[in-house]
Structure 1
Amino acid sequence: MAHSTLRSRLGCWLALMGMALWLTACRPLTIPMPTAAVPGTAPALAPGPVAGAAGLDDPLYPTLGNGGYDVLHYDIDLTVDVAGNTLNGATTISARATQALSAFNLDFSGLTIGQVTVNGAPARYRRQASELTITPVQPVQADSLLTVTVAYQGQPQPMRDPGVPFLPLGWQRFGDDIAVVSEPSGAMTWFPSNNHPLDKATFTMRLTVPKPYQAAANGVLSDTQDNGSSTTYVWQMTDPMATYLATVHIGRYEVITAAGPDGVVRRDYFPLGTPASVKASFAPIPQMMQFMRQRIGPYPFAAYGVALLPVPTGWALETQTLSTFGAGAGGAAWDEGEVMHELAHEWFGNSVSPATWQDVWLNEGFATYFQWLWQEQNEGSAAFNATVQEVYASMLAQDVGSPLPQQPPDLFTDATYQRGAWTLHALRLTVGDVVFFKILRAYYQRFAGSHASTADFIATAVEVSGQPAVETLLRDWLTNPKLPAPPAPSAQTPVIAL
């Protein structure tokens, strides 16, 4: 996520909220030894079916997500009345039970439910706030596959999240268009889900909208069906995606397509009448993709592009494969660094997702640092050094604390973005460029398509660098309430030479 009104004069952008460390995530796991069987005793019976947990105990959002199953695929079929901003449809969830289940929960708020089925049979359900509890006719056996379909209709209601007080979340209107922005919790306003980045899945979206509207979503447009007065757009996201990154854009667009590096499909959705200066903001994206490829690895998905809202917003969001940007205020172009920031999230945040919301610096700190690295690439080391020094002075003046939060209002702050990025810079100064980029590549390759914690990153940095002191350095930058002093540069000249 980016907020354009907070960027510095040199293009580094500052967000509105902050984050503090989940300390227990950084402690080594204790793995119990197997217990030997006692001779002459009967083997323990497998536990009977029980209800899945109604949350995943995330340190910031303990009720988000649900236990007892792993979602494999979401099939979302929606017919949308754009004028009335209402929808009618169904979501079918394919999942694997991770335990024997007598009941289980989905995260779903607001919309009116018509029917719920489990493996084709009607199931009992009840809803309290955003917790939808489903009781199948027959218990679900552990390791079995289950198919859950929820039919629903109504007008989605955006929700307020204390972690993002400046923006309603979920399905909502922007001017005459409809769009979805959900980080961290808003996905449950428009489809039932296991609403936490720990449970990523693939997606199919079938979006039927009246002509002349168009519908865009994550992934690749696999089919377009002409129904006479309406059109159905079928979008396939075949790589795992966290629910908060799922998006829909409905409006009237100029669609610009092109071939990107490594065969990546490029498609941008600009509202009709978007000024050429705003569209030109996104022209450097192919070069940015090559920049990321050289340092981290190939772009991780089949497609990339941007979808613009018809109104200025001052923020952008890294919705997977189709980043969401507001219109440029007064026709102003988007800052190139912010375009780079959202693209970098495709590697760090979207492919490698945070294990908990306390680990979000692994999204925002990384994307901010690659924004600075893009400046270094294009404007030289003097401009880069001026940026990082200016940011450090600003953090020192504001007494910016740890980049990992204790509560949702700290989720997106200067600590998350700037001190998160400076944590990486401190590591780079300590180990030198060659080892630094080896660490980032190893971290990305190990956790691509999945999720990672702060502890995972620290362990990777220590292992790849071969320097135990790196752990102390990173923990100081991540946990010390006071801003650490910049480390002395490594004996290796910090020059990007890959």
Structure 2
Amino acid sequence: MALSRSARLGALATAALSFCLIAAAPAPHPGSDGVGDPYFPQLGNGGFDIRHYALDLAYEPDTDRLDARATITARATQHLSSFDLDLQKLTVTRVEVNGRRAAFTRGGDEIRITPREALRKNKTFEVSVDYGGVPEPLSGPIVFGSDYGWMKTADGVFVACEPNAASTWFPGSDHPSDKAAFDIRIKAPKGLTSVSNGRLVGTSTKGGHTTAHWRETKPMATYLATATIGKFDVRTGRTPGGTPIYVAIDPTLPKGDVDVYGITGEVTDYWSKVFGPYPFEETGAIVDDMPQAGFSLETQTKPIYSAVRSENTIVHELAHQWFGDSVSPASWNHIWLNEGFATYGPWLWNEYKGRASAHESFMAAYNARPADSPFWQTVVGDPQRDTMFASAVYQRGAMTLQVLRERIGDKDFFRLLKSWVGQKRYSNATTDDFVRLAERVSGEQLDELFHTWLFTKGKPALP
């Protein structure tokens, strides 16, 4: 059938437009090997956004060996010719992208993956990585001089990864700005209990091994993931307010006078009134015997404690479920948004219990250090990598909040806290974000207050 002249011209125009669109499409190029965090430039990766991790882990305590497959679902944010995942030291044996084997290389703590076909911007893709070896904890001055990450215990492993140790046991984008949902399946010898984030989907036993399947449906930063294994006494139920609770305690630890289960339930419910609804599906605790870890960590839904810790420590870690876990720092220089708020938590709790007002706690912290103390030389709003967990980040961060409270009044202050966790729920934030919201809620100009207490060296004068 012959085409008319106008039809031929229309077809030619359509072909020319298609050619121009194809020609204009940007060529695929590699994703960056880091997100440019000021303290950890190569943590995280560019060119994609991870939506979900499915981790299938098999662990043998006798040899400390981990064999695993990580299946990651992500959305490309650019046209990708290749992309990176963070993974430290473990041996990678196979990589697939969208079900097809992909080439990969190793360099430092990175896996560079080249799929057979370029990945198109805004398209979802799946990458699976088979890997194994003996995970090694990290050490150094960052976390109180303690080892952290994947840490061998007498009967299993204690896993607490802030800020950069998640990639010691699974590949991913190991930066808090790239949150995702998780399914974590842990296979370990029968008789051991495997505890992770979210809620327990189920367990199955076969051939002398038990596999536990945990699911965290809410967005989670990688450093908050855990796969702790050992012998535990487990207690489950609901808080008085109705939130599911799961508490696992190493039976070899002395019980002392701290009721971890009871305090966890009571504090979760109280923070739900003060800060707003509990952001996750389950609360709880993991209490393990790990004396080499001189810290506890706010692993999402179940803070992990390296011994039976104090009531104030439990209060602190549960405050983190709102401040740090649900609302996470956009980059690690904003760490005070985690630790200052969580440190302020016990001040509020003790005020609620009638032990001491938050003002009295503030004055005790303020008066405890003379003006010439090195404590006052830490710039809390940007403390630098090796001092990001300095006591000033915690204590002076909390002092900043009390000064703010006394400046704007209780009504606006507590409205601010609820607005902050409500507006930033499951996302990332910066100090500037908080300052802007504080000014909007209070109607006051607060730049000088925050500059003095967060960014100025030296002991501030009392307001």
TM-score after normalising by structure 2: 0.91
Of 318, 330, 333, the match for 1:355:
330
Q: Does 1:434 align with 2:411?
A: yes
- 1:486 is aligned to 462
Runs of 5+ consecutive residues of structure 2 not aligned to the other structure: 1-19
Of 132, 137, 155, the match for 2:116:
137
Describe the SS at the equivalent of 1:269: strand
- 2:300 is aligned to 320
- 2:15 is aligned to none
Alignment of 1:174-185 (within 5 A): 174-185=153-164
1:279 positional shift: 5.5
Looking at structure 1, the residues matched to 381 and 120 of structure 2 have their Cα atoms a distance apart, in angstroms, of 38
1:380 positional shift: 4.3
Misfit runs of 4+, over 6 Å: none
Task: Provide closer, same or farther for how the CA distance between residues 256 and 279 of structure 1 changes in structure 2, counting only shifts above 3 A.
Answer: farther
Describe the superposition over 1:139-184 as per-residue Cα deviations: whole angstroms up to 9, x where unpaired.
1000011100000111111123552252222212123331211100
Looking at structure 1, the residues matched to 48 and 81 of structure 2 have their Cα atoms a distance apart, in angstroms, of 12
Q: Does 1:445 align with 2:433?
A: no
1:483 positional shift: 2.8
Select between 413-422 and 257-266 the one with higher mean Cα deviation.
257-266
1:404 positional shift: 2.6
Task: Provide closer, same or farther for how the CA distance between residues 214 and 381 of structure 1 changes in structure 2, counting only shifts above 3 A.
Answer: closer
TM-score after normalising by structure 1: 0.85
Q: Does 1:371 align with 2:346?
A: yes
Q: Are the aligned partners of 2:264 and 2:285 in contact in 1 as well (CA < 8 Å)? A: no
- 2:391 is aligned to 414
Alignment of 1:78-97 (within 5 A): 78-97=57-76
Q: Are the aligned partners of 1:341 and 1:371 in contact in 2 as well (CA < 8 Å)? A: yes
- 1:241 is aligned to 220
1:265 positional shift: 1.4
Matched pairs, number: 439
Task: Provide closer, same or farther for how the CA distance between residues 287 and 406 of structure 1 changes in structure 2, counting only shifts above 3 A.
Answer: closer
Describe the SS at the equivalent of 2:270: helix
Describe the SS at the equivalent of 1:461: helix
Describe the SS at the equivalent of 1:94: strand
Q: Does 1:285 align with 2:264?
A: yes
Describe the superposition over 1:246-268 as per-residue Cα deviations: whole angstroms up to 9, x where unpaired.
00111111101121254321111
Q: Are the aligned partners of 1:177 and 1:310 in contact in 2 as well (CA < 8 Å)? A: no
Of 239, 248, 251, the match for 1:272:
251
Q: Does 1:216 align with 2:198?
A: no
Q: Are the aligned partners of 1:58 and 1:356 in contact in 2 as well (CA < 8 Å)? A: yes
1:311 positional shift: 3.4
Alignment of 1:4-403 (within 5 A): 45-164=24-143, 166-277=145-256, 280-312=259-291, 313-328=293-308, 334-381=309-356, 384-397=358-371, 398-399=373-374, 400=376, 401-403=378-380
1:394 positional shift: 2.6
Describe the superposition over 1:443-488 as per-residue Cα deviations: whole angstroms up to 9, x where unpaired.
11110111111111011001111112x222122211112232222x
Describe the SS at the equivalent of 2:353: helix
Select between 288-297 and 63-72 the one with higher mean Cα deviation.
288-297
Describe the SS at the equivalent of 1:62: coil
Describe the superposition over 1:3-41 as per-residue Cα deviations: whole angstroms up to 9, x where unpaired.
xxxxxxxxxxxxxxxxxxxxxxxxxxxxxxxxxxxxxxx
Looking at structure 1, the residues matched to 195 and 287 of structure 2 have their Cα atoms a distance apart, in angstroms, of 11
Q: Are the aligned partners of 2:190 and 2:205 in contact in 1 as well (CA < 8 Å)? A: no
Select between 422-431 and 310-319 the one with higher mean Cα deviation.
310-319
Looking at structure 1, the residues matched to 280 and 380 of structure 2 have their Cα atoms a distance apart, in angstroms, of 28
Describe the superposition over 1:385-434 as per-residue Cα deviations: whole angstroms up to 9, x where unpaired.
33211211234442413213353111001221011101101100101101
1:346 positional shift: 0.3
Describe the SS at the equivalent of 1:379: coil
Select between 344-353 and 410-419 the one with higher mean Cα deviation.
410-419
Looking at structure 2, the residues matched to 387 and 426 of structure 1 have their Cα atoms a distance apart, in angstroms, of 12
- 1:476 is aligned to 452
1:88 positional shift: 1.2
Q: Are the aligned partners of 2:382 and 2:455 in contact in 1 as well (CA < 8 Å)? A: no
Select between 353-362 and 478-487 the one with higher mean Cα deviation.
478-487
Looking at structure 2, the residues matched to 239 and 396 of structure 1 have their Cα atoms a distance apart, in angstroms, of 44
Structure number with higher relative contact order (C-alpha < 8 Å, ≥ 6 residues apart): 1
Looking at structure 2, the residues matched to 319 and 177 of structure 1 have their Cα atoms a distance apart, in angstroms, of 18
Looking at structure 2, the residues matched to 407 and 370 of structure 1 have their Cα atoms a distance apart, in angstroms, of 24
1:134 positional shift: 0.5
Looking at structure 2, the residues matched to 267 and 87 of structure 1 have their Cα atoms a distance apart, in angstroms, of 25
1:214 positional shift: 1.3
- AA at the equivalent of 2:48: Y
What RMSD over aligned residues (CA atoms) do the two structures have, in Å? 1.7
Looking at structure 2, the residues matched to 162 and 281 of structure 1 have their Cα atoms a distance apart, in angstroms, of 29
Describe the superposition over 1:29-86 as per-residue Cα deviations: whole angstroms up to 9, x where unpaired.
xxxxxxxxxxxxx889232101001111111111111100000000000111121111
- 1:11 is aligned to none
Q: Does 1:455 align with 2:435?
A: no
Looking at structure 2, the residues matched to 286 and 428 of structure 1 have their Cα atoms a distance apart, in angstroms, of 27
Looking at structure 2, the residues matched to 381 and 206 of structure 1 have their Cα atoms a distance apart, in angstroms, of 44
Describe the SS at the equivalent of 1:485: coil
Q: Are the aligned partners of 1:91 and 1:192 in contact in 2 as well (CA < 8 Å)? A: yes
1:241 positional shift: 0.3
- 2:11 is aligned to none
